[in-house]
A and B are shown apart, each in its own frame.
Chain A
Amino acid sequence: MLPPEAGTLAVLAAFCEATVRVATPLALAALGETVTERSGVINIGIEGSMLSGALGAALGALWLGSAWGGALAGVLAGVAVTLVFAVVAVGWGGDQIVAGTGLTLGALGLTGAVYRAAFGATGAALSLPTFHSLSVPGLVSLPVLGRAVFAQPAPTWMLYLLAPMVWWVLARTQLGLALRAAGEAPEAAVAAGLRVPRLRMGATLFGGAMAGLAGATLVLAQAGTFAEGMTAGRGFIAIAIVVLGRWHPLGAVGAALVFGAASAFQYAFQAVGVNVPYQFFLMAPYVATLLALAGVGGRARAPEALGRPWEAPR
């Protein structure tokens, strides 16, 4: 809570910091899903992967005694869960939407069961080793944006690194070309000698890893503990972010920031002292998603082959 004499600049700075903080897991998951969807696969099960990553991070951090250990465990959990989806939807050509829904439900149940088995049904908060803020001296002192950009925990710094990397791979390398071909015209990719299922599998698992990392971020850099169903639809919001970012990795980061801002408004309102029932703040991100999707349109510039199962003729 800010002291009343803090002034508008301070409020703005706090708002920006909150924006980046909230946006980080969304951006990480959306970055991964962008790659997945560019290869032609729509994975709405990233909600389940994120939740699994969150639980994996909590367990990993406890057992390994460090936040980094937790993050690694979270990534592995995300990949493991996504593997099921990848085999069914990419390997066997099953319907991607339904398989993703099944995965999310399954992950919800599985994480709940494992959590209760490990910690009992009481829902007490765990005490986990977390990621602390890493600041860049000097740059941190920039007005308004200083702390927002340069004083964030490790996952946000990883995002700064991963986003341009993903862009570069997609836009400037042969691998990126191959992935994009798999998503736009798989027949053309096959004719060029590429193996579409393999490309899509890789892209899907990368998306799962990022979703797992996003879940780990929720636990280890924000909440500090695990609670059942804590992702609360963030995975689905990430899918909307991919659309809003026009399937461009940097666009996804931008759109995630917009969502972070929408959530951070809550704090701004509280700081100013407006009295609105808190449920409406909880609703805000979801309503914002609806409005944003309406504004942008659903399928403009989606990869042509998105969602269509591919089977090699033989």
Chain B
Amino acid sequence: MTDAFAALSRATPLLLLGIAVLIAFRAGIWNIGAEGQFLAGAVVAAWLGTRWGITSPVVALLVVPALAAAAGALWALVPAWLRSRFGVLEVITTIMLNFVAVYLVGFLVHGPLQEAGHTYPQSDPIAGAARLPALVAGTSVTWALPTGVLLAVAAWWIIARTTWGFALRAVGANPLAAAVSGRIPVERVGMGAFLVSGAVAGLAGAAEVCGVTFALYENLSPGYGYTAIAVALLARLHPLGVIVSALFFGVLEAGAGSLQRVAGVPSVTVYALEGLIIVAMVVVERRTRRAAA
């Protein structure tokens, strides 16, 4: 049943990125930059894993996720600051940084981070100690998956059962009322959500580099950051729903690969399907909103 494991492996980054996107969207922040934030975390993880000479798994566990999350948050900081200070639409700035991130990776794997032989555009293999152990031996399914599930549950609890989550939801639903009647610091909540979103995305990048690819190279992400938007929307921005939604897309994307091998249907069609799902969810949201009125 290698296909089932392939699906789970594909679902893992989608789960983490789905949570990242969800946190921002719930606060009314259109973070389309999960792709770039993912790569930022991947870059830092690759740098730590190949150039720092880490020999202890404990050190790796302490340092790699923290710095990768920080990298993701930093990548989100620019659009967040531009939005806060200048009122610039984050949709545009996050997408711009996605492209910058892709080219940055290209530069790094052709240059400073390139493998010792200087032949291939990729990094050295990640040091053994820094590698994420597999959940099921012989597959690409790592401990990042259960971590993602835990994160989803934590996200649900924070959003639904804490005052922080309430503030997040209020800001996303009506920032004006949140400020005037709720006395909520809207700017700070928005900024916080944006940075946390970036951090989680960075974590996803590290998980991919340290657990699946074991190296950094171009085209590391087949558009995970964009698929994650479809994942989050299909789950109606509900953290527990994201778990199911990520699995669904994992099956879809893993299946698309074999569909291409078997039936000759281009795997790129999956993008078309994802686009369709996003558009469909927009219509559903509008219909539900009107029915409640």
Contact = CB atoms under 8 A, between A and B. Distances in A.
Contact, chains A and B (beta carbon distance below 8 A): yes
Interface of A: 44, 48, 84, 88-89, 92-95, 97-99, 101-110, 112-113, 116-117, 121, 228, 232-233, 236-237, 239-240, 243, 277, 279-280, 282-283, 286-287, 289-290, 293-294, 297-300, 309
Contacts of A92: 283, 286
B279 A84 contact: yes
B277 to A, nearest CB: 8
Contacts of A108: 268, 271-272, 275
B274 A106 contact: yes
Contact of B282 (A99, A105, A277, A282): A99
B279 A99 contact: yes
A233 B286 contact: no
A95 B282 contact: yes
Contacts of A243: 89, 92
Interface string B181-208: 0000000000000000000000000000
B271 A279 contact: no
Nearest to A93: B286
Given A97-B30, A110-B269, 7 more contacts: A94-B283, A102-B275, A106-B279, A113-B269, A228-B268, A243-B92, A287-B100
Contacts of B274: 102, 105-106, 109
Given A116-B266, A286-B100, A105 B226 contact: yes
B88 A293 contact: yes
A102 B99 CA distance: 18
A97 B91 contact: yes
A112 B268 contact: yes
Given A98-B233, A105-B274, A109-B268, A290 B82 contact: yes
Interface of B: 30, 32, 78, 82-83, 85-89, 91-93, 95-97, 99-100, 103-104, 106-107, 110-111, 226, 229-230, 233, 266, 268-279, 281-283, 285-286
A231 to B, nearest CB: 11
B103 A279 contact: yes
A107 B92 contact: no
Nearest to A100: B91
Contacts of B272: 105-106, 108-110, 113
Contacts of B282: 88-89, 94-95, 98-99, 102
Top-4 shortest CB links A-B: A106-B275, A109-B271, A102-B278, A109-B272
A239 B277 CA distance: 24
A193 to B, nearest CB: 25
